[in-house]
Amino acid sequence: CTVVYNYTNPGECSFEDGLCGYHNSPEDDHFEWDRQNGTTASISTGPANDHTLNNNLGYYMFIEASIPRVQGDTAIFSSPWLITKDWYDYNCNLTFWYHMKGAHIGQLDVK
C-alpha cells in the first residue's frame, strides 16, 4: 500500500528525523514513549544500536519499564491516519523491529 501524508511518510518512519506524525496518547495511559539513540538508562535492558543505522547514532522509540513502573501500567503510542492513494486498497502491512529484555517486561500489544 502507498501512504499519502503531509509529514515525513509515517508509513516508512525510522524515527531518524523525528516522530513522523506519531505521538504519545494524551490520556488513557500511565507513561510515555521516548525517542532515543544509544543505550538506555537501565543497564542491560535496551538495545545497543537501532535497526536502521545499526549503530548508536540511530534513533528508536522506547519505554522505560523499570522503576517506577508497576504491573498494569501502559504507554500508548499512536500513528497518524494512514491514507492510501486508492480508497479500496486495504492490503497494508505493519512491519517493525522490537527489543524486549528485562525480568518483568510485560507484553507489547499492537492494535
pLDDT at 70: 85
pLDDT at 54: 92
What are the two backbone dihedrals, phi and then psi, of residue 73, each rounded to the nearest 5 degrees?
Answer: -65, 145
Cβ distance 49 to 56 under 8 Å?
A: yes
The pTM of this model reads: 0.78
Residue-level pLDDT, tens digit, the chain, 111 residues? 444 444 455 567 888 989 988 899 888 888 999 999 988 888 778 888 888 899 999 999 988 888 788 888 899 998 887 766 666 666 667 788 888 887 777 888 888
The CA distance from 62 to 40, in Å, is 9
C-alpha cell at 33: 514513549
Cα 3–Cα 6–Cα 9 angle in degrees, nearest 5: 45
DSSP, collapsed to helix, strand or coil, labels residue 11 as: helix
CA torsion 79-70-35-81 (nearest 10°) is: 0
**Cα-only R_g, the chain:** 15
